[in-house]
Amino acid sequence: MAEFSKLIITGRGQALIAKTIAGTGSMEFTKISTSSAVYDLEQVEGLTELANVEQTSLISSIIRTNETAVKIETSFNNLELAEGYYMRSLGLYAMDADEGEILYAVTT
């Protein structure tokens, strides 16, 4: 089983959180994409999109697990893959009313 870093919120994700807290925006998670690109943790906050996206899947469930966390689930299968790849990073996307769909957070 793969081991990923903690989810790191991108700059655009941080801006969306600020809008939501200020009452001028709302947050809706839309999808998760896999990527074969390798990122250093220091790069993640500045990302606006993932390179080398291999697969994308819609969110299947979002569950609040405690006062400060949620569990977001999706699944991927290999039915439409022409060849295998190394899943090096995952990107969580959210809808921003001003920006459209944004890369909210990344794990490597």
This prediction's pTM: 0.91
Structure confidence by residue, pLDDT tens digits, 22-79: 999 899 999 999 999 999 989 999 999 999 999 999 999 999 999 999 999 999 998 8
Q: How far is Cα 45 from Cα 37, in angstroms, rounded to an integer?
A: 15
Q: How far apart are the first and last CA of the chain?
A: 14
What residue has token string 């769909």? 101
Task: Find how far residue 69's CA is from the centre of its chain.
Answer: 15
- What's the token pair of residue 20? 């939501």
The mean pLDDT of the chain is 93
15 touches 103 (CB < 8 A): no
